[in-house]
Amino acid sequence: MFKLIVLLVVVAIVVVARKAKPAEEKSGHGFEGLLDTSYQPEFLKVASYNIQTGKSEEGKRDLMASAKVISEADLVGVQEVYGVGFDGLFNPNQAERLAKHGKFSWLFSATRMRWFREHRGNAILSKLPVKDWRVEMLPDTSGKSFRNMTIAEVSWQGRQFHFINTHLHTRGGREDQLEIVLQEFAKYPTAILLGDFNSRADTSALRNALKDIEVVDAVAVAGLDSENPDRIDWILSKGFTVEGGEMLDKGVSDHPYYQVSLRYSSN
Q: Is the pLDDT of residue 16 over 50?
A: no
Least reliable range by pLDDT among 11-20, 126-135, 138-147, 166-175:
11-20
pLDDT the model gives residue 5: 64
Q: Is the pLDDT of residue 92 over 80?
A: no
Model confidence pLDDT, tens digit, residues 234-262: 999 999 999 999 999 999 999 999 999 99
Q: What is the distance between the alpha carbons of residues 113 and 147, in angstroms, rounded to a whole number?
A: 12
Q: Is the pLDDT of residue 267 over 50?
A: yes
**If you compute the radius of gyration of the chain from its CA atoms, what whole number of angstroms results?**
19
Arithmetic mean of pLDDT, 177-205: 97
**How sure is the predictor about 109, in pLDDT bands with cuts at 50, 70 and 90?**
very high
Displacement of CA 227 from its chain's centroid (Å): 24
Q: Are 142 and 25 in contact (CB under 8 A)?
A: no
Arithmetic mean of pLDDT, 189-201: 97
**DSSP result, 139-157:** P-SSSS---EEEEEEEEET
Give backbone dihedrals phi and psi of 97, rounded to 5 degrees, phi first.
-70, -40
Q: Is the pLDDT of residue 15 over 60?
A: no
Task: Give the rounded percent of residues in the chain with a pLDDT score beyond 70.
Answer: 88
For 207, what's the count of Cα atoms within 13 Å in the CB-facing half-sphere? 5
Residue 217: how many CB atoms within 10 A of its CB?
17
Domains located in the chain, CATH noted: 22-264 (3.60.10.10)
pLDDT the model gives residue 7: 56
Q: Identify the bridge partners of residue 262 per DSSP, sorted by sequence position.
A: 44, 242
Least reliable range by pLDDT among 2-16, 46-60, 117-131, 207-221:
2-16
Model confidence pLDDT, tens digit, residues 143-187: 778 999 999 999 999 999 999 999 999 887 899 999 999 999 999
pLDDT the model gives residue 17: 44
Q: Is the pTM here over 0.75, yes or no? A: yes
CA 195 → CA 158, 240, 259, distances in Å? 26, 18, 12
pLDDT the model gives residue 91: 66
Arithmetic mean of pLDDT, 226-237: 95
Among 210, 154, 161, residue whose Cα is nearest residue 189:
161
Q: Are 163 and 190 in contact (CB under 8 A)?
A: no
Q: Is the pLDDT of residue 119 over 80?
A: no
Model confidence pLDDT, tens digit, residues 66-90: 999 999 999 999 999 998 765 545 6
pLDDT the model gives residue 240: 98
DSSP-derived letter for residue 168 is -
**How sure is the predictor about 128, in pLDDT bands with cuts at 50, 70 and 90?**
very high
**How sure is the predictor about 97, in pLDDT bands with cuts at 50, 70 and 90?**
very high
Q: Is the pLDDT of residue 4 over 70?
A: no
